[in-house]
Amino acid sequence: MQSRLFAMLTVFLLSGLSGCFGGGGDGIFGDGEELYGEPGGLTLACLRSDGFDSMVVEIDYSTGYQPDSSTVSTLKSRLQQVCDKPGGIDIQLSETNFEHQGSWSADDVREIGRDTREGVPQDGKVLRWHLLFPSGSYENDGVLGVAVDASTAAVFLDDVRDAEPWTTRPSAEQIEEAVTVHEVGHLLGLVNLVYQSPRPHEDPDHPGHSNNEDSVMYWAVESGDISSFISNDVPDEFDADDLADLADLASGELVASKQLWS
């Protein structure tokens, strides 16, 4: 009980200070700002087809950290559900030596992500997002994934495996799937990262996150306290409010700010 309380407090404090989407305010974008932006900065590029008719999600993983095939297929179907890409969404996996020891900071993910990606985010008519699955943990306990700029996120499978509860569910694979979709949800701008939703579904105590336990954007999804889900099932889908926000952004009904492309 005490350790759960500590985990919840940790997550609460972290969320209040920085959250898991490392955008804005931290002054660490420097020269890359125009190219890389903040989480949500390429949501219109994904939701619409007029600038980019196809999409590549590059997944780079350390040896032994390849995401489960169900994670890859779920990620693809969640993106296909909301993004208009007539030329298709291609997920490309490659084993990668990140040449990094020990824990990861958001800066590490940004810098090493840029060093290891195979193309720029806006690559002609192709939109390229980049997910890292490195060995090692995030520097702050209780964070299973981070989104660090408009096209880059990381999932920490060491932390995901540690978060697997002693009960049978949810499994590490289910948590991995949910955290991956969650981080991509931040790249899509959820919740209220680059717009203001008319639907009151952002949790005021966890900015950038949903207040609905059945949404993949629920704050606890990326926390080490994932075992607290009462149903023993961790959501891996966007809920109706998330989908309505994305539809309104795509149609222009909701104005998107901080866009690198529009």
Which of 138, 140, 145 has the alpha carbon at shortest distance from 216?
Answer: 145
Nearer to Zn ion, 20 or 89 (CB): 20
Q: Measured from the CB atom, is 55 or 188 closer to Zn ion? A: 188
Based on CB atoms, which residue is closest to Zn ion, 176 or 222?
Answer: 222
Pairing of strands 54-61, 89-95: parallel
Long-range residue pairs from 251-254, CB within 8 A, at least 24 positions apart, any chain: 254/195, 254/196, 254/197, 254/198
- Which residue lies nearest Zn ion, judged by its C-beta? 20
222 binds Zn ion (CB under 5 A): yes
Is residue 154 a contact residue for Zn ion (CB under 5 A)?
no
Is position 20 an interface residue for Zn ion (rule: CB under 5 A)?
A: yes
Q: Can residue 112 be called a binding residue for Zn ion (CB under 5 A)?
A: no
x/- track of binding to Zn ion for residues 176-215 (CB under 5 A): ----------------------------------------
Burial code of 64-85, b = ≥16 C-beta within 10 A, e = fewer?
ebbbbeebbebbbebbeebbeb
Name the one range near Zn ion by CB under 5 A: 14-22, 66-74, 129-137, 192-200.
14-22
Residue among 22 and 52 whose Cβ is closer to Zn ion: 22
* E strand or H helix at 94: strand 89-95
Q: How far is the CB of 249 from Zn ion (least distance, A)?
A: 18
- Sequence-distant (6+) residues with CB within 8 A of 147 are 20, 21, 22, 23, 39, 153, 183, 184, 186, 187
Cα–Cα distance, 58 to 129 (Å, whole number)? 6
Any contact of residue 245 with Zn ion (CB under 5 A)?
no
Amino acid type, 113: G
Instruction: Report DSSP state, residue 137.
Output: -
Q: Pick the stretch among 9-17, 20-28, 120-128, 241-249 that binds Zn ion (CB under 5 A).
A: 20-28
Q: Of the two residues 56 and 148, which places its CB atom closer to Zn ion in the complex?
A: 148
Interaction site with Zn ion (CB under 5 A): 20, 222
